[in-house]
Amino acid sequence: MINVPLLDTRLQNEPLRGELEAAMARVLDSGGFLLGPEVEALEAEVAALCECRHGVAMASGTDALLVALTAIGIGPGDEVLVPAFTFFATAGSVARLGAVPVFTDVCPVCFNLDLEDAARKITRQTRAILPVHLFGQAAEMDGIQELADQHGLEIIEDAAQAIGARYRDRPCGGIGRAGCLSFYPTKNLGGFGDGGMVVTDDDDLAARMRQLRNHGMEPRYVHHHVGGNYRLDALQGAMLRVKLPHLADYTSARQRHARQLIDGLAGLPGVEQARAADCGCALQQAAREAGSATRLVLPVAYPHNHHVWNQFTVRVPGGAARRDALRAHLATHGVASEIYYPLTLDQQPCFTDLPAHARDGLATAHRLATEVLSLPVFPELTAHQIEHLLTAVAGFVEGAAD
């Protein structure tokens, strides 16, 4: 049987083994293992990709969020608007600073922050909005900017899943006051352990973040702020620099595979593509509920976005049991899949005590948590694997349509 994993990092890294070993040897020979010239070079290269003046490397994407929020002064008494349907770190970073993550509903078409709900949840305490470019597709940044301008809010982008993505030809991460990236191994630029970066055009903010990642220290043993140890290893910097020149090719392969999956599945009975016209994140009409005959809803890449497909996420309407049945069916055919995310953030045990207005009106996010399933889309998928994946999904929807 053909196996189709969700990702196989070895396939991507093996062709670069010689260069990666040379990069490791360079660091070994240098005797310097934290920050230093390799990390500075990576910062410059990633900042250029995001069309920003500064890149400030961090030990993880989570640290990037925490440090960016700390640097803009988020703290107790503040509220930050965060989509309810995202990875935990987006909201965890807000809560760790003593601020309240106020959860907004999301769009069922592009999975990103629902602007109408965000506007409804702004209070006198709201200081910032933290849009996530989920699964590699940009959030509706023009509308977010308009809302932020109207209410004097900061925008920090969570671009952990969206390095290289673009919104109306502007780079994700480089649109708000700061953008946070992750180099976790499953990300589009996957490292060899944890890693992250904040990109920004703001000189003062960058300087503050450089201090904060090193215990707020400058010069040595003079501490201006209570920061932490959020430094990136030189080894990560050196090895990520080997992979960065290949990112555009990895992205093209992801885009090609997403297109093949959409084309291969679109004609099947009960399969429909999400409609851009139903997008709920741009103050448009509320999205249509999927009809009862709909077995599977395919994701959509908006023409104004350069979607980088960190995940290819379908929806299986009709409740978690139907989605889980597809997942089990795929597993019996050797096809891996994953649920990003089975719980919304307001459903997390650690957030049940948040004030009511931080947790209300999240119906779409709740529904998505029961419907979504991410299928393999990684760059090294072979034509045979894609064919096998398509056949396996077709077997499920055709069986279900009988």
Ligand X SMILES: Cc1ncc(COP(=O)(O)O)c(C=O)c1O
Residues in contact with ligand X, counted by CB under 6 A, come to a total of: 15
- Pick the binder of ligand X from 81, 129, 132, 300 (CB under 6 A): 132
Buried b (16+ CB within 10 A) or exposed e, 176-213: bbbbbbbbbbebbbbbbebbbbbbbbbeebbebbbbbb
The 40-69 contact track toward ligand X, x by CB under 6 A, reads --------------------xxx-------
CB of 180 to ligand X, least distance (A): 7
CB of 271 to ligand X, least distance (A): 27
Kindly tell me which of 89 and 368 has the beta carbon lying closer to ligand X.
89
CB of 263 to ligand X, least distance (A): 27
Cα–Cα dist 128/81, whole Å? 6
Can residue 194 be called a binding residue for ligand X (CB under 6 A)?
yes
* C-alpha torsion sign, points 98, 102, 103, 109: negative
Q: Which of residues 238-277 bind ligand X (CB under 6 A)?
A: none
Can residue 309 be called a binding residue for ligand X (CB under 6 A)?
no
**Closest C-alpha among 138, 141, 144 to residue 163:** 138
CB of 143 to ligand X, least distance (A): 20
Cα–Cα dist 46/244, whole Å? 8
The 145-164 contact track toward ligand X, x by CB under 6 A, reads -------------x-xx---
CB of 201 to ligand X, least distance (A): 21
CB of 174 to ligand X, least distance (A): 17
The number of C-alpha atoms within 13 Å of 237 and in the hemisphere containing its C-beta is: 27
Q: Using CB under 6 A, list all residues that contact ligand X.
A: 60-62, 86-87, 89-90, 132, 158, 160-161, 182, 184, 194, 196
